[in-house]
Structure 1
Amino acid sequence: MPIDMLALDGAYLVRPQVFPDDRGLFLEVFNQPDFQEVIGHELTVAQVNCSSSRRGTIRGLHGVSLPPGQARYATCVRGSIVDIVVDVRLGSPTFGEHVPVVLDDQERHALYLAEGLVHGFAPLSDEATVVYLCSSTFSPAASFQIHPLDPELSLPWPRDPAPILSEKDKMAPTLRTAMDRGILPTYAECLAHIEKLRQTGGLPR
């Protein structure tokens, strides 16, 4: 299962092999040994989420502060989406930069995001269903949002129709405001967290 690092440290594209036949298809959505060989530690799955969205929806940008942090492994099981990863780690050489990735039910690619990165996604099809594995359970106190339409980020969301946001995402701060409020993780603490995971096999301690 090829796993390729993207332009942001901690973001990876997973390209599973798909086996179609006259019954349908089969693929490995996730393979722990292949993941560990590339990432350097196991992925501990504490929660599995599923969301269905209609065209025009933008979900994000969402992140989880350290501790506990939250790594995510996402795939689109129905339709297609653009998932946009943004580096909000203070001190990162790519701070404020983003990478868009298309996930769909044809190629069946997956996206892995290490702790400290934020992301959001929007359907490219009329409807889309996304399933993602999370390394920690939902923590309201540690969760934070960045406004997906922050003009300084200028993210490449679909332009039609008009974006549909949750009330929480509408009220989210810009990246600059989030930085001023001191709610963003630092690059150094994210690297230290990942190194600890590698030393403990992937189990946060």
Structure 2
Amino acid sequence: MTGDTAASRPSLPPLTRDGRLVIVARAQRAEDYDRVIDVLVDAGVRSVEVTLTTPGTFDRLPELIERYRGAADIGVGTVTDIDQLQRAIDAGAPYVVTPVTSAGLVDHAVAAGLPIVPGGLTPTELFASWSRGAAAVKVFPAGQVSPGYAKDLRGPFPDIQVVPSGGVDLEGTRAWLAAGAVAVSVGGPLLGDAFVGGDLGALRERTRRFVAVCAGGSA
């Protein structure tokens, strides 16, 4: 990593960095976001990634960013091309996430000053994104490796910031953070059936357990 890259690297926004928990909100419809995100934020979540696989996400994005401003970062996930990335930039997204390793996406985001978290699994993929100025790198799918992978990566890449994603449950959250992950990205193990009419009270309790672990407590 060069000094120029380190100096130009956009950092994860403070709410996301300090909360250490990103919830991947993959809804069936964008109009379903509010009732679930309201519960997540009320239970202590400070960063939610709304995904472009949910129809209508871009239409709702400015409203969601404003609705939760100061309480939670609303990032954009599943970004896979420059047009999508630019739309996220134009909407004022605080960060973006992509499941792929793409020099073009990283370069475009860094040039715009937007924190980007690109996906990858191998050391080559992860370092390629990190060395170009990614705010952090997403180990995806994290279920294919153990939490110790975060520690292994810091051997050759001591400064790399790792966010595991894909199948991370409560115990995995604790283990990845203990191994040095800067944050965890959690979807189904926390959200369960919340987007298909599930019990929001149960969602609140699950969320509080994850938030407590990420805050350094027990759950």
TM-score, normalised to structure 1, is 0.26
Which is richer in strand?
Answer: 1
Select the structure with the greater relative contact order (CA < 8 A; seq sep ≥ 6): 1
Which is richer in helix?
Answer: 2
